[in-house]
Amino acid sequence: MLSAYDEIAEWYEQSFVTGSPVHALALPALLELTGDVTGRVVCDLACGQGIAARELARRGASVVGIDLSARLLEIARRYEEAEPLGIVYRQGDAQSLPEIADAAFEGVACCLALMDMPDLAACLRTVARILQPQGWFVFAITHPCFQLPEARWTGKAGGTVRREVRGYFREGYWQSPNPYGVRGKVGAYHRTLSAYLNALYEAGLTLERMLEPQAQDEVAGRVPGYREVPAVLAARCHKR
């Protein structure tokens, strides 16, 4: 199985070491929505190098991390060797996961990865299948209303920050012209907010709560616009 992240795995890992503003917003929101996971059997879906998996394990969950990228899983396992938390890492495609039994998990978390899925409906059906009845699904995505192909910051340096958005209704794969960012390297799939919400419902997942974290302190200092416009949307659902 090949993943676009295999080619950039070490670069991607370094972006976390140096501090990713978007992940600095996404991970706390994700963990707030998962709540108390003590003793719960949880899947970190599209786990990458295991950042969310490790936080969930430190909070008492029994965690299985699944990702398509073999190289990112290698990095995750290096962390596990250095700090054993009992996390099991497995390679798999989040859009199917035939190797995972039905109702295997009490909760599924997915941090900043649904935008990478070519087939969102298949991924969410898989989430519903591997969840136990009334199990929870918590995810964080780049905000579909403000983080999209034709969105850009406007305004003068030191002045009012504005976000200009165009092309919201044009869904599909896109790649940023910025070669130094993750979306410039692997691209993403833009979808409208309603596309996400409808896909959740059709997969048998009911929305409970949403968060749009506002940047503060260090993150706001690095990207002042994130104090004005949300970069991340996080949500908690349960399986009907």
Q: Is 208 left (phi over 0), alpha (psi -120 to 50) or beta?
A: alpha
Give the number of other CB atoms < 10 A from CB of residue 177: 8
Give the per-residue pLDDT at 16: 82
Cβ pair 137, 154 in contact under 8 A: no
β-partners of residue 190 are: 172
pLDDT in tens, the chain (240 residues): 668 999 999 999 998 878 889 999 999 999 999 999 999 999 999 999 999 999 999 999 999 999 999 999 999 999 999 999 999 999 999 999 999 999 999 999 999 999 999 999 999 999 999 999 999 999 999 999 999 999 999 876 667 888 999 999 999 999 988 888 899 999 999 999 999 999 999 999 999 999 999 999 999 999 999 999 999 999 999 999
> What does pTM read for this prediction?
0.95
Contacts of 81 (CB under 8 A, 6+ apart): none
β-partners of residue 232 are: 142
Spatial distance between the Cα atoms of 197 and 2, rounded to a whole number of angstroms: 29
> Which domains does the chain show, CATH number per domain?
4-143+189-239 (3.40.50.150)
Q: Which residue has the tokens 């950042």?
A: 51
Measure the CA dihedral 107/111/113/115, to 10°.
110
What would the DSSP string read from start to end of the chain?
---GGGGGHHHHHHHHHH--HHHHHHHHHHHHHH---TT-EEEEET-TTTHHHHHHHHTT-EEEEEES-HHHHHHHHHHHHHS----EEEE--TTT-TTSPTT-EEEEEEES-GGG-S-HHHHHHHHHHHEEEEEEEEEEEE-TTTSSTT-EEES-TTS--EEE---TT--EEE--S-TTSHHHHT-EEE--HHHHHHHHHHTTEEEEEEE-PPP-HHHHHH-GGGGTS-SEEEEEEEE-
